[in-house]
Amino acid sequence: MQIAKNKIVTIDYTLTDDEGVVMDSSKGGEPLAYVHGIGNIIPGLEAALEGKNPGDAFKVTIPPAEAYGERDEELVRVVSRHVFADVDDLEVGMQFQGRSGEHVHEFAVAAIDGDDVTVDRNHPLAGVTLNFDVTVVGVRDATAEELSHGHVHGPDGHGH
Ligand code: ZN
């Protein structure tokens, strides 16, 4: 069965940056299962998988615009250390969740300079070119329930 919109696709993948450093991989764990064609995964990877069959293996380089977007320097702010008064050992690289109204966003501590803490709300992979090494493991039809939920059920997906 070919990969097309609304198929449940299972892939093994390894993600590396441009220096060849492995950033993520399904090796040693479960393959990734997703609903094809509805934006479950980044656009560049979804486009590369279109029309592929089980057993197909390929490499694809995805620019930021087709992955997690370009970095937006407007999302970088300097705040006072007292914002983190309840954090004992504040360190660069720590990740937090913030809330503004209904929206929950994640941000990372990018720099600490005395009382000034630089926080960055960009996605950690924003501005990063992604190199995927992908093997298609399986393709099947989605159930009506999976399509209405927009995600995969069963042993190869999340339960709820
Ligand atoms: Zn569901």
- What is the per-residue pLDDT for 16? 96
Mind listing the domains of the chain with CATH numbers? Answer: 7-68+126-149 (3.10.50.40), 73-120 (2.40.10.330)
Give one DSSP letter per residue of 114-149, joined into a string. TTEEEEE-S-TTTT--EEEEEEEEEEEEPPHHHHHH
The alpha carbon of 142 and the centre of ligand 1 are apart by a number of angstroms equal to 12
| Both tokens assigned to 143 | 């159930």
- What is the per-residue pLDDT for 157? 54
pLDDT above 90 coverage of the chain, percent: 84
The alpha carbon of 37 and the centre of ligand 1 are apart by a number of angstroms equal to 17
Give one DSSP letter per residue of 56-114, joined into a string. -EEEEEE-GGGTT----GGGEEEEEGGGGTT-TT--TT-EEEEEETTEEEEEEEEEEET
Q: How many CA atoms lie less than 13 Å away from 7 in the CB half-sphere?
A: 20
The alpha carbon of 35 and the centre of ligand 1 are apart by a number of angstroms equal to 11
Report whether 50 contacts 18 (CB < 8 A). no
Average pLDDT over residues 60-65: 97
What's the pTM value of the predicted model, to 2 decimals?
A: 0.79
- What is the per-residue pLDDT for 159? 60
The alpha carbon of 147 and the centre of ligand 1 are apart by a number of angstroms equal to 9
For 103-123, the pLDDT digits (tens) are: 888 899 999 999 999 999 999
pLDDT above 80: residue 48: yes
Average pLDDT over residues 119-135: 94
Average pLDDT over residues 83-107: 89
Report whether 7 contacts 141 (CB < 8 A). yes
The alpha carbon of 137 and the centre of ligand 1 are apart by a number of angstroms equal to 22
Reported as a pLDDT band with limits 50, 70 and 90, residue 158 is: low
- What is the per-residue pLDDT for 98? 83
The alpha carbon of 112 and the centre of ligand 1 are apart by a number of angstroms equal to 41
Reported as a pLDDT band with limits 50, 70 and 90, residue 75 is: very high
